[in-house]
Amino acid sequence: MDELKYLANWVKEQHAQEYILTWLLNQPGLWWSDGEAYQAALQKSGKLLKEYVKKNQTGDLFQGIAEKIIDDESWDEVAESLTRIISVYQDELVKLQDYSRRKNSKKILKKSLNSEDLSVEDNEEMEIQQALPDPFTDALTGEE
């Protein structure tokens, strides 16, 4: 246990910003748009982030780490880093969703082209189905 306390103290002294950023990324509510940490990151507000961290510090190992980051510029840097991480996460998520959609649409297209043993040329020449007739029009004259 003494080794763990020593390690915690070393982290507090040497890597407080990185430790807090890692801790923030592991918070369960971070990615929700109503979360305090998320809002602080969107506003790039070190002050809001500092308040959030101090309010949510728990456990012996985490106590005191927030006090190691003294100046506001350092908190702003943590908030800015968090903003960049969230932005990259969201960009990658969009790319992944686009990739999944393209992949699924190709599968659907292949299935429809392969159905009933039609060739690609046959499918291209098929007529597009016309809209169904309006049930309120006269079948002979086409007028309502």
Write the DSSP string, 45-96: -HHHHHHHHHHH--STTTTTHHHH--SHHHHHHHHHHHHHHHHHHHHHHHHH
pLDDT tens-digit map of 72-131:
899 999 999 999 998 898 888 888 888 888 887 777 777 766 655 555 555 555 556 566
Residue 143 lies in a domain: no
Residue 112 lies in a domain: no
Residue 18 lies in a domain: yes
Rounded alpha-carbon distances, angstroms, from residue 89 to 81, 84, 86, 100, 136: 12, 8, 5, 16, 53
Q: What is the mean pLDDT of residues 43-64?
A: 81
Range of the domain at 40: 2-98
CA pair distance 3, 33, nearest whole angstrom: 38
Residue 10 lies in a domain: yes
Residue 123 lies in a domain: no
Residue 82 lies in a domain: yes
Nearest to 65 by CA among 24, 7, 19, 30: 19
pLDDT tens-digit map of 1-15:
788 878 777 777 778
**3-state class of 11 per DSSP?**
helix
Residue 108 lies in a domain: no
Q: Provide the 10 A C-beta neighbour count for residue 135.
A: 6
Q: Provide the domain count of the chain.
A: 1
